[in-house]
């Protein structure tokens, strides 16, 4: 057996080159599986949501704004496209209502910032981590309630025969029933209440992530609480301020539920005019033109706000800088 095994084994000669051993390489990522199950597939919900719920609807609104209303029973026709609906949309009532809406939006955003900033500071710094979740839940629970239900609650509260009117009359603060419902003041109260959580949350995240060590270092260097807040906490929380203002101002411009429930005829907003064109007048072309004008005006106001913010940061940086002479402060 050993002799046969030796004969069957080929002898290796010194000059014979060795064949390289076959190595199994790991499969490279790619192909159909990576195409359908890769990073692009993981981001499918994001871009699908943006496509179907933002890009396509806005594109349809812009397209319908170039159409017209052919007859009484047809909402829109697009066989003849023109810009004629835009001058028709820029009526005197629309312009006056737009500036009233802009005033309500700006004042509402400022009031939300004034209320949310100290509350977010207290929530992020003063509240213990064990109770912070409870405080955040108390902020978010009203926000999870239906928007219309919350607004109807304020309608009941601000009514002349509501408990707030009776309470203020009982304290001697009012001589008669509370007469604030169906006014712009009632709309202002309603929008501040409805959009306040959208300002609190980004401010809380920004202040909470600013860092306790920087505030402690500021105290160690002799700065007081006000100086530390203005020179350390507030500049580091500025991204949260910007995010909160955008989250409040942009949807507030198009809000029509609060104005319909609390404002009536005297507290109307642009969103009501647009909704009336689509639902009551059945003139989708004019309503779409109003919506496009509102979108462009909102973007213009946001652009002006960013420019003013950038200018203020440049001025503040120049005022806080220390001039150097001969390499010395």
Q: Tokens 């047809």 belong to which residue?
A: 74
Tokens of residue 135, six digits: 């405080």
Q: How many CB atoms lie under 10 A from the CB of residue 272?
A: 20
Check residues 162 and 323 and name the one with the higher pLDDT: 162
Instruction: Please state the pTM of the whole predicted model.
Output: 0.79
* pLDDT for the residue 326: 44
- What's the CATH code of the domain at 136? 1.10.3720.10
Span 63-110, pLDDT tens digits? 999 999 998 888 999 999 999 999 999 999 899 999 999 999 999 999
Question: Among residues 258, 155, 142, which one has the least CA distance to residue 200?
Answer: 142
How far is Cα 198 from Cα 19, in angstroms, rounded to an integer? 70
Any domain includes 167? yes
177 occurs within a structural domain = yes
**Domain span at 307:** 54-320
d(CA 137, CA 142): 9
Residue 43 within any structural domain of the chain: no
- Give the pLDDT of residue 104: 94
Measure the CA–CA gap between 176 and 179, rounded to whole angstroms.
8
- pLDDT tens string 263-309: 877 778 999 899 999 998 999 999 999 999 999 999 999 999 888 88
User: Dmax over Cα atoms in the chain, in whole Å?
Assistant: 124
Q: Contact at 8 Å (CB) between 285 and 69? A: yes
pLDDT at residue 17, rounded to an integer? 54
217 compared with 14, residue with greater pLDDT: 217
- Tally the domains of the chain: 1
Residues in the chain: 329
Average pLDDT, the chain: 83
Please, are residues 274 and 256 in contact by the beta-carbon 8 Å criterion? yes
pLDDT tens per residue, range 15-42:
555 555 555 555 555 555 455 455 566 6
Q: Would residue 10 count as lying in a domain?
A: no
Q: Residues 139-188: pLDDT tens digits?
A: 888 888 889 999 999 999 999 988 888 888 888 888 888 888 898 999 99
Q: What is the mean pLDDT of residues 232-252?
A: 89
């Amino acid at each position: 057996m050993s002799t046969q095994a030796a004969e069957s084994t080929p002898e290796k000669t010194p000059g014979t080159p060795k064949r390289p051993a076959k190595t199994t390489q790991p499969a490279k990522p790619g192909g159909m599986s990576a195409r359908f199950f890769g990073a692009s597939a993981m981001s499918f919900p994001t871009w699908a949501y943006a496509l179907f719920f933002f890009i396509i609807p806005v594109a349809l609104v812009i397209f319908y704004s170039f159409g017209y209303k052919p007859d009484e029973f047809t909402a829109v026709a697009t066989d003849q496209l023109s810009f004629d609906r835009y001058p028709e949309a820029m009526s005197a009532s629309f312009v006056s209502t737009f500036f009233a809406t802009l005033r309500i939006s700006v004042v509402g955003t400022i009031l939300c910032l004034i209320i949310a900033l100290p509350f977010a500071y207290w929530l992020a710094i003063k509240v213990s981590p064990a109770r912070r979740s409870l405080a955040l839940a108390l902020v978010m629970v009203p926000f999870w309630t239906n928007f219309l239900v919350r607004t109807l609650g304020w309608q009941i509260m601000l009514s002349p025969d509501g408990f707030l009117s009776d309470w203020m009359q009982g304290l001697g603060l009012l001589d008669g029933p509370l007469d604030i419902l169906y006014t712009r003041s009632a709309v202002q109260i309603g929008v501040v209440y409805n959009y306040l959580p959208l300002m609190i949350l980004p401010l809380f995240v920004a202040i909470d992530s600013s860092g306790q060590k920087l505030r402690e270092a500021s105290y160690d260097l002799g700065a007081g609480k006000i100086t530390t807040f203005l020179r350390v906490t507030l500049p580091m929380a500025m991204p949260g301020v910007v995010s909160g203002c955008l989250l409040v101002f942009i949807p507030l411009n198009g809000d029509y539920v609060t104005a319909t429930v609390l404002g009536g005829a005297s507290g109307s907003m642009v969103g009501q005019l647009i909704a009336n064109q689509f639902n009551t007048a059945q003139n989708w072309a004019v309503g779409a033109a109003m919506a496009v004008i509102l979108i462009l005006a909102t973007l213009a106001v946001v652009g002006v706000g960013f420019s003013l913010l950038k200018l203020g940061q440049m001025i503040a940086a120049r005022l806080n800088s220390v001039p150097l002479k001969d390499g010395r402060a």
